[in-house]
């Protein structure tokens, strides 16, 4: 929210009260508490009246400093609060109290100038950011003087941090506009607005700076960010109320920031290996029954297209009855038998659900009678006609309502369902009453967390490590319940591009795994767009064919589209030893599997604004094609890059433009990397180490490359170390399955050299 009128003034009726100096300091190892009047205290009479702010600093974990600013501390705290994992006892590594208070945790240091209450944050000797005059502020939007103050009803707290020359800001959740957030006003507030506007389904109050730090505003309600858009050299953030809390998260890299952030808010769970295969949906408003479903499934298999998951969207239930969790008897008279027949073909089953119960649902009266829905202030059920006529919304703060909802899902699991698409959860009212008394404004975003957590818990209970969602809404911490997809996009190149921007923005906000609707959701794409989207979709962490009013099976776009889809499904399946190992690292570290170039190459200024390409794990670069001219345009950072599909090498540090057919996409392996390919391309789950081909790409002399491969249970299955010496390539393989090590382009005339291992061993391979 913008409170200023230019550099010097506030907007009309806005009162802005910032710390004038530190009047009193209580400095301890576990916290620093500063009393900061907003007018300078020159004599004892100045203490009679006026606005004071209390500034508290603490170190909740190494490399993280918590800042909390409070005006009136007497307000009831009704929650909710993000579930943070923080040590019970923490303290600064060192604290010094002089004219400048200095507190340090790890390599992160805060320096507070007592004379003006300004703060500066350092990594070692390098200044990261800070706040100065008027940056921290208690703000009243209808200020008429102390004697006429209305209390918290028009109160906001604001923080501002420096934005220096060349500094770029990323994150703030799923955002479909410009990838770099500089110059933007961003409200972190979940809304169902599609992918073509500033609205977003997944809002995360975290931003990353290319200077190697992050800021997490620890508020579940609407947080308004002004990223160089109010004061051009500041990032501002504000919340309603009488206090604000935020964390400064040290790097020194953006990857390190994400590691620390997910240490606090939770690591992404590791999706089961089968989830990385192709998902096929019935689409949204299409007509379908068991015959239609089998026609689609058999059509895929008959064309040699590996399929892992079949998804039933909304109309597996009767219209107006969402959600009653009951199969439409006219379309699916034998649902249990149907699911058994589909599973006999090797498929997993996903069904669509949401947290709304329409008035025609058989569950409505039960939920109303037992108090399982959100209520109005007078005790009535909160209802409206948006989406489903007369719908009510399940109150997940009520333990009995959660158990009731989960029991309906358990019945579906018993029937043969493996996972759920948790749709919606964004249009949550703020004029309602929750069972546990939570503040409805703070619950608006947080509702998505409780909704997905409720479903995740029942899947974890019944499916163990195979629990997986296909979720649309989220807030901070939601990354613990993967997978998330990008929402309702149009079927155009522009929508395909904005979808990728949204995904990279989300993964820059702590989310490890991500998907989208291949071919687009709204309307029907051209065959050209569909085929290009297939390549992009199968080189995302998770891959789903889904649409709205038309089916997304490839042959409806031409048999050549089926050929294109098959080739990329097979490519992804063959890459599973590499991909699943990368997924396990994402689970362990919190560094996203699909990541922006800026995160991987912080020091390459050409990567700062790149949002049309990405890294898929540590070693592979992907650049989707976004035009109907078959022209690929992409940038390769410094080093030698190898085209995985053709073996062609290109020198990095420059842009390339070339024509590619539908079976090819810019897919490059990084210099000195090892990418493990599997022995199978017809399914995502197999023994990844057995018969693997380890491709060693452009390893410079004097350097060593290492890689590991995990099995489908994410346990270490094999490891490989290759050192390029003056004598040749020293290769050490550790594993109990045969494999082939391929030194890509290392032989005479650029030919590959292969070394075959029947078991663990070492070899010197001469070029």
Active site residues: 423, 426, 488
Pairing of strands 667-669, 640-643: antiparallel
* Sign of the four-CA dihedral 338, 344, 346, 349: positive
Q: Are 194 and 175 in contact (CB under 8 A)?
A: no
- Name which of 58, 206, 67 is nearest 135 in CA terms: 67
Task: Give the list of residues 6+ apart from residue 225 with CB closer than 8 angstroms, or none.
Answer: 172, 181, 184, 185, 186, 187, 188, 205, 207, 235, 236, 237
- Name which of 104, 135, 103 is nearest 118 in CA terms: 135
In angstroms, the CA 740 to CA 756 distance is: 4
Residues in the chain: 767
In angstroms, the CA 586 to CA 93 distance is: 29
In angstroms, the CA 521 to CA 332 distance is: 25
The phi, psi pair for 303, rounded to 5°, reads -95, 10
- Name which of 316, 314, 311, 315 is nearest 280 in CA terms: 311
Task: Give the list of residues 6+ apart from residue 449 with CB closer than 8 angstroms, or none.
Answer: 82, 83, 474, 475, 476, 477, 478
Q: How many CB atoms lie within 10 A of CB 628?
A: 11
Cα end-to-end distance, the chain, whole Å? 62
In angstroms, the CA 264 to CA 62 distance is: 11
In angstroms, the CA 644 to CA 693 distance is: 13
Task: Give the list of residues 6+ apart from residue 198 with CB closer than 8 angstroms, or none.
Answer: 175, 176, 177, 186
Measure CA 149 to chain center: 41
Q: Are 594 and 701 in contact (CB under 8 A)?
A: no
Pairing of strands 108-113, 100-105: antiparallel
State both tokens at 244.
């604000």
Q: Are 613 and 634 in contact (CB under 8 A)?
A: yes
Q: Find where tokens 């906001």 sit.
A: 156
Measure CA 694 to chain center: 30
19-54 in b/e form (b: 16+ CB < 10 A) is bbbbbeeebeeebbebbbbbeebeeeeeeeeebbbb
For residue 320, how many C-alpha atoms fall within 13 Å in the half-sphere facing its CB?
4
In angstroms, the CA 744 to CA 751 distance is: 7
In angstroms, the CA 54 to CA 48 distance is: 17
Q: Are 632 and 667 in contact (CB under 8 A)?
A: no
In angstroms, the CA 300 to CA 683 distance is: 13
Burial class (CB in 10 A: 0-12, 13-18, 19+), 747: middle
In angstroms, the CA 80 to CA 125 distance is: 38
- Name which of 719, 715, 675 is nearest 575 in CA terms: 675
Q: Are 390 and 422 in contact (CB under 8 A)?
A: no
Beta-bridged to residue 280, according to DSSP, are: 310, 545
Measure CA 764 to chain center: 43
Residue 120 DSSP SS3 = strand
Task: Give the list of residues 6+ apart from residue 340 with CB closer than 8 angstroms, or none.
Answer: 416
């Amino acid at each position: 929210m913008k409170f200023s009128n230019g550099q010097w003034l506030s907007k009309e009726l806005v009162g802005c009260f910032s710390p004038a100096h530190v009047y009193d300091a209580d400095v301890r190892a576990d916290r620093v508490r500063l009393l900061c009047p907003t007018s300078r205290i020159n004599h004892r009479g100045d203490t009679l009246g006026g606005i004071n702010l209390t500034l508290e600093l603490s170190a909740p974990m190494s490399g993280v400093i918590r800042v909390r600013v409070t005006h009136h501390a007497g307000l009831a705290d009704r929650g909710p609060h993000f579930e943070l994992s923080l040590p019970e006892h923490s303290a600064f590594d060192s604290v010094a109290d002089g004219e400048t208070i200095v507190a340090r945790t790890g390599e992160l240091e805060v320096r507070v100038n007592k004379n003006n209450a300004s703060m500066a944050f350092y990594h070692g000797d390098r200044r990261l950011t800070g706040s100065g005059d008027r940056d921290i502020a208690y703000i009243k939007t209808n200020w008429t003087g102390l004697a006429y103050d209305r209390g918290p009803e028009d109160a906001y707290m604001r923080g501002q941090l420096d934005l220096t020359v060349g500094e770029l800001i990323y994150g703030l959740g799923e955002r479909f506009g410009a990838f770099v957030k500089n110059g933007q006003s961003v409200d972190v507030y979940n809304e169902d607005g599609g992918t073509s506007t500033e609205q977003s389904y997944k809002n995360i109050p975290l931003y990353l700076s290319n200077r190697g730090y992050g800021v997490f505003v620890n508020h579940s309600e609407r947080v308004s960010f002004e990223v160089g858009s109010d004061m051009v050299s500041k990032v501002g953030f504000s919340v309603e109320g009488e206090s604000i809390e935020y964390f400064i998260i040290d790097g020194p890299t953006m990857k390190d920031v994400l590691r620390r952030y997910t240490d606090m808010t939770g690591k992404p769970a590791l999706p089961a290996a089968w989830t990385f295969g192709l998902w096929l949906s019935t689409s949204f408003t299409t007509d379908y029954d068991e015959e239609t479903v089998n026609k689609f499934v058999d059509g895929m298999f008959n064309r040699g297209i590996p399929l892992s998951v079949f998804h039933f969207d909304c109309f597996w239930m009767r219209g107006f009855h969402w959600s009653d969790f009951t199969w439409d008897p006219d379309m699916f008279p034998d649902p249990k038998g149907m699911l058994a027949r589909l599973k006999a073909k090797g498929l997993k089953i996903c069904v669509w659900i949401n947290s709304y119960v329409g008035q025609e649902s058989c569950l409505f009266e039960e939920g109303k009678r037992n108090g399982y829905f959100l209520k109005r202030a007078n005790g009535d059920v909160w209802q409206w006609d948006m989406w489903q006529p007369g719908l009510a919304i399940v109150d997940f703060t009520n333990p009995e309502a959660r158990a009731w909802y989960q029991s309906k899902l358990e019945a579906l699991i018993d029937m043969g369902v493996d996972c759920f698409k948790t749709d919606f959860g964004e249009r949550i009212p703020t004029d309602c009453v929750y069972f546990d008394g939570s503040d409805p404004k703070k619950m608006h975003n947080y509702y998505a967390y409780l909704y997905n957590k409720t479903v995740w818990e029942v899947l974890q209970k019944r499916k163990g490590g195979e629990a997986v969602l296909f979720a649309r809404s989220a807030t901070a911490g939601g990354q613990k319940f993967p997978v998330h997809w990008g929402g309702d996009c149009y079927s155009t190149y522009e929508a395909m591009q904005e979808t990728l921007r949204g995904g990279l923005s989300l993964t820059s906000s702590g989310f490890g795994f991500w998907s989208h609707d291949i071919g687009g959701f709204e309307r029907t794409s051209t065959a050209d767009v569909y085929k290009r989207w297939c390549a992009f979709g199968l080189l995302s962490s998770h891959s789903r064919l889904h649409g709205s009013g038309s089916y997304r099976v490839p042959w409806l776009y031409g048999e050549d589209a089926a050929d294109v889809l098959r080739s990329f499904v097979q490519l992804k399946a063959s890459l599973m030893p590499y991909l699943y190992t990368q997924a396990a690292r994402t689970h362990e570290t919190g560094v996203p599997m699909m990541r922006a170039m800026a995160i991987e190459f912080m020091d390459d200024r050409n990567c700062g604004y790149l949002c049309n390409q990405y890294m898929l794990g540590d070693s592979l670069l992907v650049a989707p094609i976004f035009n109907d001219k078959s022209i690929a345009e992409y940038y390769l950072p410094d080093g030698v890059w190898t085209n995985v599909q053709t073996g062609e090498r290109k020198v990095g540090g420059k842009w390339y433009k070339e024509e590619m057919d539908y079976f090819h996409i810019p897919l490059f392996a990084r210099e000195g990397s090892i990418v493990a390919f599997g022995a199978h391309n017809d399914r995502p789950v197999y023994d990844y180490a057995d018969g693997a081909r380890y491709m060693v790409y452009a390893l410079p002399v004097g350097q060593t490359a290492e890689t590991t491969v995990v099995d489908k249970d994410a346990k270490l299955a094999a490891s490989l170390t290759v050192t390029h010496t003056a004598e040749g390539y020293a290769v050490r393989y550790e594993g109990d399955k045969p494999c082939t090590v391929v030194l890509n382009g290392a032989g005479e005339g650029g030919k590959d050299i292969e070394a075959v291992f029947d078991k663990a061993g070492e070899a010197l391979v001469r070029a």
